[in-house]
Structure 1
């Protein structure tokens, strides 16, 4: 597995798309902070030149983060899957392939996330008006988001390796991470014992996390981790099991 990891790492680092995606993400963070900073300079009454509003773009930007997750996953699960037949023929197990690609893409995704968070806090606390608590609240809100974002990352990884089309992956991501709360609320609203289930869906939790962050009331929530870990376990189990039996052309 170590040798396969090294070869995959070499191929990953040679992907121009990975570096372009990383650079664009960081530049967007700088651009947003710059726009807010100069808007505040031009208009002293500009209400959005605060670090809390700046951070809210990420706390409320789950969809953007999921798109970045897709692009990172695509680095090793896109056209590279065309050579899997050769890899398997050399005796590399399917489990090794599944977990190696996941570990590598996740590692660089998390590295970019850490760099982006550090950059945001640096810009937010130096260029924008800070209330002294926004950076701490930002980190707490990110901890709440983490398991749900990871579950989205794992879902994309599993679906890509199972050769599910990008359009269908997009539909699945919308249903699970954008509309699941509304769908379950409508489905179970007449069932007393289940009419609160929607509150534990990814989109409802992310929305709740944003509201608490903006209201200065954000705290660590176990419910985010229950939902995230449950989703992650399900998609990884299905992914690795199906991939082990999948015919590779």
Structure 2
């Protein structure tokens, strides 16, 4: 591991933003689970809580994960322009800066995803008490299907953030959520709109969640093609512009 990425990891670990984000997000998972369990105890007319219902709620919070992706990407970007200038002056190439910062963000985001899986699985055993291995497999496959879409969000946040753009979150929510919702609402009006919606991040995410609720989830190559496609397009365009940026 080169000295530059070591220094970036050190800077990342010494900022409280990531730790606070992890604590808040995992706390939300626990609180949501406890709220659902206690609600089922209080209102006994409701059906018993199942793994499908609980995992479905955890998995459906993709908007929150988009926000988390922006927060993680922002930790080493934008406001640290002075550090970037110093790195360039010391001989670090723009390519290493651009790629190494993203590597750290990607690793950190993936670790957080794994932590959510572990914590939600423990809750499924401890609080719900009716842990089902088949439901858990469906949950994992669903998360695997959704992962490339989240990575594409991380790439957009990284590219916008490294140029100091303060509106990355609004842009991402506008494209991935607001525009996707409009396409979804209009999909019944025109076959072309329906096709566009079906390959949009929002359409893919909604399909994954709907299939999970019906326990029909299977590996979804389309999600990976779209997510990785967006990632490479954004990453290539971002790097092409960044290597010409005048600091």
User: Is TM-score (shorter-chain normalized) higher than 0.5?
Assistant: yes
CA deviations 1:118-160 (Å, max 9, x no partner) are: 1101111332144553211100100110110101011100110
Contact 1:147–1:228 (Cα < 8 Å) also in 2: yes
> Where in structure 2 are the equivalents of 1:132-151 lying within 5 Å?
132-151=133-152
- Please say if residues 22 and 112 of structure 2, whose CA atoms lie closer than 8 Å, have aligned partners that are also in contact: yes
Runs of 4+ in 1 over 6 A off after TM superposition: none
Please name the residue that 1:74 is paired with.
Answer: 74
Name the structure 2 match of 1:202: 201
Q: Quick one: distance in 2 between partners of 1:184 and 1:210?
A: 17
Separation in 1, partners of 2:43, 2:206: 30
* CA deviation profile, 1:12-67 (whole Å, cap 9, x unmatched): 11001111111111111111112222222333333473222221123211110011
Partner of 1:228: 227
Match of 1:120 in 2: 120
Change (3 A) 1:177 1:41: same
Q: Residues 94, 118 of structure 1: CA spacing in aligned structure 2 closer, same or farther, 3 A cutoff?
A: same
Secondary structure of the 1:24 match is: helix
1:155 aligns with 2:156: yes
Match of 2:46 in 1: 46
Gaps of 5+ in 2: none
- TM-score, with structure 1 as normaliser: 0.90
> Partner of 2:6 in structure 1?
6
- Deviation track 1:179-222 (CA, whole Å, cap 9, x = no partner) reads 344555759966x6675122100001101111110111111111
Q: What TM-score, normalized by structure 2, do the two folds share? A: 0.91
Q: CA deviation at 1:78?
A: 3.8
